[in-house]
Amino acid sequence: MEPLLLAARGVKNSRALASYLNRGGYKALAKAMAMDPAEVIDEVKASGVRGRGGAGFPAGVKWSFVPKDLPKPKYMICNADESEPGTFKDRELILVDPHEVLEGIAIASYAIGAHTAYIYIRGEFVREAEILERAIAEARRKHFLGKDIVGSEYDLEIHVHRGAGAYICGEETALIESIEGKRGQPRLKPPFPAVVGLFGCPTVVNNVETLACVPHIIERGGAWFASIGTERSTGTKLFCVSGHVERPGVYEAPMGTTFREIIDGMCGGIRNGRKLKAFIPGGSSAPILPADRVDTPADFDSVAEAGSMLGSGGVIVMDDTVDMVWALENLLTFYAHESCGQCTPCREGSDWALDIVRRIRRGYGHAGDLETLHRIARFASQGMTICPLGDAFCGPISSFLEHFGGEFEAAIAAAEKPATTVLPILPVRSDHALFETEEAG
Amino acid sequence: MTEAHTSPLVVADVEAVENPTFDEGMESKIQRILKRYPDQDAALLPVLWLCQERWGWISPGVMRAVGQRLDLSPAFVESVTSFYTMYQLRPPGKYLLQVCTTLSCQLCGTSGLVEHLKEKLGIDFGETTADGRFTLVDVQCLGACGEAPVVQINNDYYTNLTADSLDEILDGLDG
């Protein structure tokens, strides 16, 4: 099908307001503003659009949680932190069509009754932040933002807020803390941001891609959007394909397109004529899947059934040359670095797991290592931490061991060095008493 | 590939940022930042960015000045500054080479680039060349995995790199 969100790709000066208006831009905003905010929310609910940042929560339902009669300001936040390894779609949307994102933010703000919106963009995206600033200034001059937008009595200001290098700030409550000028450490939920969010006020945080869907939903109707994709995963999705494919990049396809179609069809197959060994379907936090699951449809439910998650749509492809012990070590290096340090199971568990895997890869593995890894993966996930970063590093551990455990066993069996030798930067620790308790329970 | 011309960082030496003050230009920028938020604490990250653009790094003196301006304790400012990896706590070189070392870039040959860079510049990660021109750091995913390997130099992304193309880019940088 024709691209929807990335329709402007290849269009000359696609970032300019004039180009966006030529393509029918900001008509959806005018249409939304002629509707009651509740009707806008209903339309987005009817579209079935689910959060594109990774969690897959229905956006319309999220908006409807904002209390209507609370005498407090409300805030809209566009999450452009895009830090999940393997994910680079939000950057593409900003580079290709920033006004599409702004229009989505404006409609969402109107629907929840916010007069201030923030775009939280990762610190590294300096040029992308400049593009958004310019687009906001342009839109203000033409009264699509600012005071009395599109001839109404509704005011909206959008501000760009730059992050400064912290993966965790993609988590919505850490993001809120970061805008408030604090360390980006997640908050306990409840209360949920829809009730107590930014500056203690009702707040909705939506991903860039989710918001980019909104103008299309309003313009062509929720039912139309819901007719694309599968029953429970509607619309198109941006798939970010990286790693060992011939043509990596961002591809837009209806939800439910199989990974085989994405990898072999759109991306031209595996590089250098090699064979697919494994792929991570939804950003590095999604459990890895072996090559034989490549026919899985890329929608929220099918990927979950296959044992992973659609997440952000970041597809990392690995060919048959990849050493899985090395790959897991690389991912754990990321999580050990990015754990915010607030919760013990995540802070200690990510470092500890990295120690073990690094040791195994360097030939210092020993018999109990895999069991310890399994225990860390059980202990730091599923509600044992404030935010899902615990699950994010445990999913890779469990899935690498499930599908490629043989490689870890072989590395341990081949270990020639004495198991007692301490090699890593962090000392090898003995099993922890807490794990024993968990085991007994 | 990048559309912008990468300019060198302005890096203040240690003495210059012992007791820094905000000039009129910076003060008016701070005023504009404050208008965006209902709570002045929220200006902390943007004001730190402003300082880093002005002085190249965030010294203890800069932290004190920022704290004074925003009515925050120096300890609080330090706790926030040190949480975020992009605020430089030591003076960097004129060009900050940030090499992405996460999975997608590694699958596409980053380790070769790293070896090449270390040898060419004679420094390891976290170090600055003796002439103060380059600082080399390894960073986590830069969010441009489709164009791996990626190196960010100051504010710009350079993508699909090889040792040769990287050499050409480094040799073409000003001053």
Q: Where are the alpha helices (DSSP H) in A52-125?
A: 59-64, 89-96, 98-112
Q: Distance (Å) from the C-alpha of residue B15 to the closest C-alpha of chain A? A: 25
Q: Which residues of B touch A161 (CB under 8 A)?
A: 36, 45-46
SS percent in chain A: helix, strand, coil, step 5 = 45, 15, 40
Q: Measure CB to CB from residue A166 to each of B2, B37, B84 and give the nearest one.
A: B84
pLDDT in tens, A100-124: 999 999 999 999 999 999 999 999 9
Provide the CATH topology of domain A17-226.
Rossmann fold (3.40.50)
Q: Which residues of B touch A239 (CB under 8 A)?
A: none
Phi, psi of A255 (to 5 degrees): -55, 140
Residue among A91, A127, A165 whose CB faces B4 most closely: A127
Q: Give the residue from B3, B47, B107, B151 with the most A CB atoms within 10 Å of its CB, the best one to mutate.
A: B107
pLDDT one-digit tens code per residue, A290-319: 999 999 999 999 999 999 999 999 999 999
pLDDT band, very low/low/confident/very high, at A428 (cuts 50, 70, 90): very low
Give the mean model confidence (pLDDT) for residues A349-361: 95
Q: Give contacts of A178 with chain B, Cβ < 8 Å.
A: 45
Closest residue in B to A239 (Cα) is B146
Range A185-212 average pLDDT: 97
In A, minimum Cα distance to B155 occurs at A126
| B30 phi, psi to nearest 5 deg | -60, -40
Q: Do B156 and A127 touch (CB under 8 A)?
A: yes
Q: With bands split at pLDDT 50, 70 and 90, how would you rate the model's confidence at A213?
A: very high
- Whether residues B85 and A73 touch (CB distance < 8 A) is answered with no
Q: Token match 């509704």: residue?
A: A154
By the 8 A CB rule, do A182 and A164 touch?
no
Reduced to 3 states, what is the DSSP secondary structure of residue B45? Answer: helix
Question: Per-domain residue ranges for chain A?
Answer: 17-226, 236-319, 324-440
B38-77: burial string, b at 16+ Cβ within 10 Å, e else: eebbbbbbbbbbbbbebbbbbbebbbbbbbebbebeeebb
Query: Which residue, A259, A215, A217, A260, is CA-closest to A235?
Result: A217
Strand partners, A289: A279
The confidence band for A417, taking pLDDT boundaries of 50, 70 and 90, is low
C-alpha distance from B86 to closest chain A C-alpha (Å)? 5
Best to test chain B binding among A179, A239, A280 (most B CBs inside 10 Å): A179
Phi, psi of A276 (to 5 degrees): -70, 135
**Is CATH 3.10.290.10 the classification given to domain B95-171?**
no
Domain parsing of chain B, residue ranges: 14-83, 95-171
Give the model confidence (pLDDT) of B69-102 as tens digits.
999 999 999 999 999 999 999 999 999 999 999 9
A374-412 pLDDT tens trace: 999 999 988 899 999 999 999 999 999 999 999 999 999
H or E element in which residue A178 lies: helix A172-179
User: Does the pLDDT at position A99 exceed 60?
Assistant: yes
Distance in angstroms (rounded) separating the CA atoms of residues B142 and B140: 6
From the candidates B80, B141, B150, B151, which should be mutated to test the interface with A, based on the most A CB atoms within 10 A? B141
**A164 vs B45: CB contact, 8 Å cut-off?**
yes
Instruction: Provide, as residue numbers in chain A, all residues whose Cβ is less than 8 Å from the Cβ of B4.
Output: 127
State the nearest Cα–Cα gap between A279 and chain B, in angstroms. Answer: 11
- CATH code of the region A324-440: 1.20.1440.230
Q: What number is the average pLDDT over the span A340-350?
A: 95
What residues of B are in contact with residue A181 (Cβ under 8 Å)?
Answer: 39, 41-45, 70, 72, 80
**Residue B49 in this model has a pLDDT that exceeds 90:** yes
Average the pLDDT over each of A60-64, A344-348, A386-390, A424-428 and give the range with the smallest value.
A424-428
Q: CA distances (Å), B126 to each of A124, A131, A204, B38, B93, in order?
A: 18, 31, 38, 38, 11
Q: Sheet containing B151-153: which strands, arranged edge to edge?
A: B127-128, B134-139, B95-100, B151-153, B156-158
Which of A127, A183, A250 is the closest to B83 by Cβ?
Answer: A183
Contact A284 B103 (CB under 8 A): yes
- Residue A430 reports pLDDT greater than 90: no
| DSSP class of A270 | B
Percent residues over pLDDT 90 in chain A? 91
Residue B55: what pLDDT? 97
Q: Which CATH number fits domain B14-83: 1.10.3470, 1.25.10, 1.10.10, 1.10.1760?
A: 1.10.10
ipTM: 0.97
The more confident residue out of B30 and A363 is B30
A236-319 folds as Ubiquitin-like (UB roll) (3.10.20)
Question: Which among A83, A123, A243 has the least Cβ separation from residue B104?
Answer: A243
pLDDT tens digit string along B108-138? 999 999 999 999 999 999 999 999 999 999 9
Longest pairwise C-alpha distance within chain A: 76
- Cα A159 to Cα A123, A133, A196: the distances in Å are 15, 8, 20
Looking up tokens 């920028």, which residue turns up?
Answer: B29
Of the pLDDT bands very low, low, confident and very high (cuts 50, 70, 90), residue B174 is confident
Q: Do B140 and A167 touch (CB under 8 A)?
A: yes
> In sequence order, what DSSP letters do the residues of B66-111 get, joined into one string?
HHHHHT--HHHHHHHHHHSTTS-SS---SEEEEEE-SHHHHHTTHH
The band of A429, judged by pLDDT with boundaries at 50, 70 and 90, is very low
Condensed to tens digits (0 to 9), the pLDDT of residues A115-158 reads: 999 999 999 999 999 999 999 999 999 999 999 999 899 999 99
Specify the amino acid at residue A374: H
* Set of chain A residues whose Cβ sits within 8 Å of the Cβ of B144: 88, 91
pLDDT at A269 over 50: yes
